[in-house]
Amino acid sequence: MSYYRPAFRHPNLPANELGYTVEHYEGGLSTLCAGCGHDSITAAIVQACFEDNIEPSKVAKISGIGCSSKTPAYFLNSAHGFNSVHGRMPSVATGANLANRDLIYIGISGDGDTASIGMGQFVHCIRRNLNMVYIVMNNGCYGLTKGQDSATADQGSKSKAGSVNMFHAIDLASLAIELGATFVAQSFSGDKAQLVPLVKAAIKHNGFAFINVISPCVTFNNNVGSTKSYDYVRQHVEATSTIDFVPPAATITANYEQGSTKQLKMHDGTVIALHKLEQDWDPFDKLSAMTAMHKATIKGELLTGLLYMEEESSDLHSLLQTSTRPLNALSEAELCPGSKILEEINAGLR
Amino acid sequence: MKPTDIKNPEYFHKVVDCQYACPAHTNVPEYIRLIAEQKYSEAYMINWDSNVFPGVLGRTCDRPCEPACRRGRVEKEPVAICRLKRVAADNKGDVMKYMPKGPFKSNGKKIALVGAGPASLTVARDLAPLGYEIHLFDEQKKGGGFMLSQIPSFRLPETVLDEEVNYITGLGIHTFYNTYIKSLKKLLADGYDAIFVGSGAPHGRDLPDLKGRKEGAANIHIGINWLKGVAFEHIKKIGKKVIVLGGGNTAMDCCRTSRRLGGESVKVLVRSPFAEMKASPWEKEDAMHEDIPILDNHVPTSFVVENGKLKGMTFEKVKAVYDDKGKRSLVPTGEPEAFYEADDVLIAIGQENSFPWIERNIGIDFDKWGMPAVDNITYGSSNPKVFFGGDAAFGPKNIITAVAQGHQAAISMHLFCSGMDIKNDRPAPMVNLHSMKMGIHEWGYDNQVTNDLRYVVPQNDKKVTLKDRKKEVELGFDLPTGFKEAERCLNCDVETVFTENRCIECDACVDVCPTACITFTQNGEEDDLRSRLKAPALNKTQDLYVSDILPTKRVMVKDEDVCLHCGLCAERCPTSAWDMQQFFYNVTKAPGICKEEMAVN
Ligand SMILES: Cc1cc2nc3c(=O)[nH]c(=O)nc-3n(C[C@H](O)[C@H](O)[C@H](O)COP(=O)(O)OP(=O)(O)OC[C@H]3O[C@@H](n4cnc5c(N)ncnc54)[C@H](O)[C@@H]3O)c2cc1C
Ligand SMILES: Cc1ncc(C[n+]2csc(CCOP(=O)(O)OP(=O)(O)O)c2C)c(N)n1
Ligand code: SF4
Ligand code: SF4
Ligand code: SF4
Ligand SMILES: [Mg+2]
């Protein structure tokens, strides 16, 4: 087994605007199982950050526990990182984000990490519209502990050992929309063409951006009868649109049929264009999104793409009216204004 | 694009860049691995089978494999393929036990070989075990041809050459040394079943019309004649100031030999720009290291002779100008002529073939330049009994080319003597492909790629080597360094083999590949596909490996160009759609045909 990646790279690798090739965005060599969907999501994050000219040292990657939560070790080596406790990624991300609003926060979690032990943290993070990307690598099982059914396993899905899951699945994307998440997307680890622009858009979104990525566990949940296997997902995936991610300076060149396209501008001028949009689907209308999702569930389809987005989103910092500068950029006098100010505050609370 | 047919042995053959570039198609990665395993004798025999002179070539080969080596495309320098060959040769044990041993059962046929250079010796080696009575003629006092008379001992010690010549003559070859063949007609009349002409290109070019050539003749020498004189110790000295004319390997050997025979101020003057000289870069480096300046863009205009004594030469300075088609012309710069002093001048401006001993009425066609018409596959001439090879066939090349042609000529001669068709009955190469998988993530080869840069071969101190023309300059790698250099080889013969019906398109190989070789995408025409890959495939000399259409309607495309053969794709593949398989390719030689025949019978 090679635990080591050769140092040589393709001599013609293109560089991005920062002058970095994709090599600058790599992490350590993955120790996940060969063929794990999580590795493809890692690669999509690498590609998105590279293409979007993101400075890796301006990123903080935070995770919980699980095979999925190991992946921050496999991308953006020079980013900040915190591998927290099982299900506690949201609170660590919240603290970090409040202390330093200038970083890009990428939270990585699993379906076990989010939908079971971390559920409480997850929902509150949504409520607060914390400015972060929250990716669930969803394989319907606890991969790291050898494949027990998770709370996102579909009812009737068969495990590798042959047992059939009797409980209803928690639909994380619907739940996120329901709880007021301002950016909700769903994708499949095997579809980078869709996943990469979604990650870029999520990074740009000013507020809580949730991506639920179906990510087959090749070792424990890729068997016939499982609804999270490569084959099953490929057969049941239904893209709601194709996505173009157009940086502020560029112009949209592709020509699409009238009426089937929706464009939306993000706060920095980036345009996301959704093409070949499903009929009766308005990703800016919560009701239309919810209805479509429920219909898809009944039909046994997995809807992917940008499901719902609120264009005008105010993140936690603007709600709380916090300092516009990160705490580490404030002087001691600003951080500890002295007992007189404290007395004034206390007086205001009386 | 159509799916790649990996059943065609030429596909993977081309991926093994060094072996493909080697005229004799030596299995380089196999011998490099054997060196890393300290199996020097086995490594030697892999070489001996293909190139016949591993010890000689490990010191002197023109090494067309090295510019082709994949390693040179992913970092600065290729693997030191040539000098690793020397490691095998210098450290081998008793290799005689692996070689064919006579006496061989006679097949009743008799053949003659003219010249005892590498081409003829290869024919002798290949045909002796088949029972031919072989008569080897050379005007020199022993075998080796130009390897003996031209390549100086400080590059190739005579003992190394003798050893490898003797392996061949020891197979029961009848040698006729000090024997110049004056008439091919007569040789044909002597009843040989076939004759091989391996007489080389023994005629050194002169500058007969240059002013002062006749007057200064006593101190003006033809390079190859002079080198031969030195090798056979007729010439032991040269003047203090020497000019060498020319930019090829003869010029480099002349100037370096001059430094050892008393030349103190030795210069090379060459017409072409430095970068376009025929000599290899390492030859130029070695000459300059011995304090020999190389003055380029100098065209000789006269020998200056005063009172019957050579004083020096004058030169016109030129610069290279290229037209739209890239054709070069040397245009005078208009600067005044330059004069350089010289006690002796060596003319090393090229060699030519010359066949004064071949009659023109014995059925061998010659062209207007005096070159025989030779088939470049069979090496047969228009006289069915007469075959050519080495420098005699297509003009001066190098040892490894002479060997490769010798193998092919030997096959033709054997087919001819057995009553078979020399064109249509040629044997196919021997090929094999087998998996290197040993465990889930374990391979039968060392797949970890080292980052070491090319190791430099140590040299003897020039204070020592310049004093003794027989002292070898290069010392060869010591074993630890040889091992480290061997580890730089990327094992290009361990091929990535893709089985599409196993692929679940999980992308794992795409993501893990360090050199972005693999892409899954819609099919298209080659140029279009090349532009759409993860990294653009600009090197068109390297093929794309394309699969059949996969379930998602895409194809797998792998650009072979900078694949490291690290096996990570195969390790990452959950379904073993990728496998690492060793590709074995060996040019069948004359004894191999008989093995096939025997196998059939
Ligand atoms: C100075 C110099 C340096 C070189 N250095 C290198 C090097 O480093 N590496 C490399 O790969 N190549 C080198 N070469 C080229 C290489 O030596 C030749 O390409 C190679 O030896 C050709 O082999 P051959 O078998 O065709 O003939 P040769 O080696 O030329 O042998 C021909 C033999 O035939 C004999 N002969 C010719 N006519 C007759 C006749 N009528 N009767 C009897 N005998 C006859 C000649 O005496 C000679 O011995 C060098 C050449 C020169 C001139
Ligand atoms: C507090 C705590 N409880 C339980 C565990 C055991 N545990 C480790 S990983 C894991 C589930 C991981 O599932 P998921 O988040 O889906 O990650 P995956 O491995 O499937 O990617 C559990 C229950 C733990 N590490 N810590
Ligand atoms: S156990 Fe499953 S989730 Fe974990 S690394 Fe292996 S395939 Fe991926
Ligand atoms: S890396 Fe090794 S196998 Fe590949 S071309 Fe170079 S020497 Fe040959
Ligand atoms: S062996 Fe596979 S992973 Fe390694 S460089 Fe070649 S294609 Fe890439
Ligand atoms: Mg999981």
Radius of gyration of chain A (CA): 21
Three-class SS state of A59: strand
What's residue A311's pLDDT? 83
Residue A138 in this model has a pLDDT that exceeds 90: yes
Structure confidence at residue A242 as a pLDDT band (50, 70, 90)? confident
Residue nearest to atom 5 of ligand 3 (CA): A32
B93 band by pLDDT with thresholds 50, 70 and 90 = very high
For residues B238 and B232, the answer to whether their CB atoms sit within 8 Å is no
Indicate the residue type of B55. Answer: G
Contact B350 CB / ligand 1 (< 6 Å): no
| Banded model confidence at residue A256, pLDDT cuts 50, 70, 90 | very low
Q: How large a percentage of chain A has pLDDT more than 70?
A: 94
Summarised one tens digit per residue, pLDDT across range B273-293 is 999 999 999 999 999 999 999
Distance of CA B92 to the CA centre of its chain: 22
Cβ-defined contact of B517 to A12 (cutoff 8 Å): no
Please tell me the distance from the alpha carbon of residue B487 to that of residue B311, in angstroms, as a whole number. 53
The number of CA neighbours under 13 Å toward the Cβ of B126 is 33
State residue A301's pLDDT score. Answer: 85
Residue of A nearest to B521 (CA): A193
The string of pLDDT tens digits covering residues B507-531 is: 899 999 999 999 999 999 999 999 9
Tokens of residue B470, six digits? 């027989």
How wide is the angle at C-alpha B580 spanned by C-alphas B575 and B581, nearest 5°? 125
pLDDT at res. A165? 96
Average pLDDT over every residue of B483-505: 97
Q: Phi, psi at residue A138, to the nearest 5°? A: -100, 105
Which residue in the block uniquely carries the two structure tokens 């404030």? Answer: A330
Mean pLDDT of chain A: 91
User: How many whole angstroms from its chain centre is CA A314?
Assistant: 18
Average pLDDT, chain B: 96
- For chain B, say whether A12 makes contact (Cβ under 8 Å): yes
- CA distances to B47, B208, B316 from B205, rounded to whole Å, are 34, 9, 20
Of B508, B535, B551, the CB nearest to A12: B535
Cβ(B333)–Cβ(B299) below 8 Å? no
Tell the residue nearest (CA) to atom 1 of ligand 3: A143
pLDDT at A312: 85
Residue of A nearest to B450 (CA): A6
Residues from chain B that touch A216, judged by Cβ atoms under 8 A, are 506
pLDDT band of residue A237 (cuts 50, 70, 90) is: confident
- From the CA of A27, how many Å to the nearest CA of chain B? 11
What pLDDT score does A74 carry? Answer: 97
B449 → closest Cβ in A8, A189, A231: A8
User: What pLDDT, in 10s, does the model give residues B207-260?
Assistant: 999 999 999 999 999 999 999 999 999 999 999 999 999 999 999 999 999 999
Q: How far apart are CA A109 and CA A212, in angstroms?
A: 10
Give me the mean pLDDT over the B497-505 stretch: 95
Please indicate whether, in this complex, the C-beta atoms of B568 and A192 are within 8 angstroms of each other.
no
Report yes or no: A199 at the B interface, CB cutoff 8 Å. no
Which has the closest alpha carbon to A48: A243, A234, A249? A243
Helices H / strands E in chain B, number of each? 23, 24
Q: Do A2 and B447 touch (CB under 8 A)?
A: yes
How far is the C-alpha of A120 from the C-alpha of A109, rounded, in Å? 14
How far is Cα A160 from Cα B524, in angstroms, rounded to an integer? 39
Contact A190 B506 (CB under 8 A): yes
- pLDDT, residue A273, reads 77
pLDDT at A341: 94
Pairing of strands A104-110, A132-138: parallel
A78: nearest Cα among A124, A38, A23: A23
Give the three-state DSSP class for A229. coil
* CA atoms of B244 and B253, how far apart (whole Å): 10
Q: How far is CA B295 from CA A180, B250, B255, in A?
A: 80, 16, 13
Residue B549's nearest CA partner among B521, B586, B582, B510 is B521
Mean pLDDT to the nearest integer, A345-349 = 94
Average pLDDT over residues B483-500: 98
Closest CA to A310 of A289, A284, A288, A290: A284
Contact A200, A51 (CB under 8 A): yes
User: What's the pLDDT tens digit per position in B554-564?
Assistant: 999 999 999 99
- Banded pLDDT at A268 (limits 50, 70, 90): confident
Residue of B441, B517, B552 with shortest CB distance to A1: B441
Which residue carries 């979104």 as its tokens? A205
Query: For residue A343, what pLDDT is reported?
Result: 95
DSSP one-letter code for B78: -
Which phi and psi angles does B227 have, rounded to 5°?
A: -60, -40
The third-level CATH classification (topology) of the domain covering A22-320 is Rossmann fold (3.40.50)
Q: Is the pLDDT of residue B318 over 80?
A: yes
Q: CB-CB: which of B536, B551, B568 is closest to A2? A: B568
What pLDDT does B444 receive? 94
- A289 three-class SS: helix
pLDDT at residue B509 in the model:
95
- Span B298-327, mean pLDDT? 95
Task: Flag whether pLDDT at B596 surpasses 60.
Answer: no
Q: pLDDT at position A295, please? A: 87
Looking at residue A1, its pLDDT comes to 52
Question: Distance between the two ends of chain A, CA-based, in angstroms?
Answer: 67
Residues at Cβ < 5 Å from ligand 6 ion: A 110-112, 139, 143
The DSSP element (H or E) to which B52 belongs, if any, is none
Residue identified by tokens 């903080």 is A60
Tell me how far apart the alpha carbons of residues B75 and B71 are, in angstroms, rounded to a whole number. 6
Q: How far is CA B339 from CA A40, B292, B299, B336, in A?
A: 70, 17, 11, 10
Model pLDDT, residue A248: 65
3-state secondary structure of A100: coil
Q: What is the DSSP letter of B424?
A: T
Contact B564 A8 (CB under 8 A): yes
Neighbours of B549 (CB within 10 A): 13
Residue A306, ligand 3, Cβ within 6 A? no
Q: What is the pLDDT of residue A254?
A: 45
- Between chains, do A9 and B516 touch, taking CB under 8 Å as contact? yes
Q: Domains in chain B, start-ordered, CATH in brackets? A: 110-202+353-417 (3.50.50.60), 204-346 (3.50.50.60)
Contacts of residue A224, defined as CB under 8 A and 6 or more positions apart, other chains included, come to A158, A231
Q: Does A2 touch chain B (CB under 8 A)?
A: yes
Q: Chains A, B: CB contacts under 8 A, how many?
A: 97
Q: What is the ipTM of this complex?
A: 0.88
Q: How far apart are CA A231 and CA B504, in angstroms?
A: 8
- Residue B468 CA to residue A117 CA, distance in Å, equals 82
Euclidean distance between CA atoms B49 and A231, whole angstroms: 51
**What angle, rounded to 10 degrees, do the helices at B118-127 and B399-417 form?**
40
Closest CA to B259 of B221, B287, B285, B281: B287
In this predicted structure, what is the pLDDT of residue A113?
A: 98
- Which of A10, A12, A51 best tests the B interface by mutation, with the highest count of B CBs <10 A? A10
Domain boundaries, chain A: 22-320
A327 to A18, A335, B45: CA distances (angstroms): 27, 8, 71
Q: How far apart are the first and last CA of chain B?
A: 43
What integer is the mean pLDDT of B417-440? Answer: 94
Q: Which ligand is nearest to the CA of B495?
A: 5
A30 lies within 8 A of chain B by CB: yes
Contacts of B566 in chain A (CB under 8 A): 2, 6
Question: Per the omega criterion (within 30 degrees of 0), is the bond before B103 cis?
Answer: yes
DSSP labels, A182-220: SEEEEEETT-HHHHHHHHHHHHHSSSEEEEEEE---TTT
Q: Do residue B535 and residue A30 have CB atoms under 8 angstroms apart?
A: no
* pLDDT tens, position by position, B62-90: 999 999 999 999 999 999 999 999 999 99
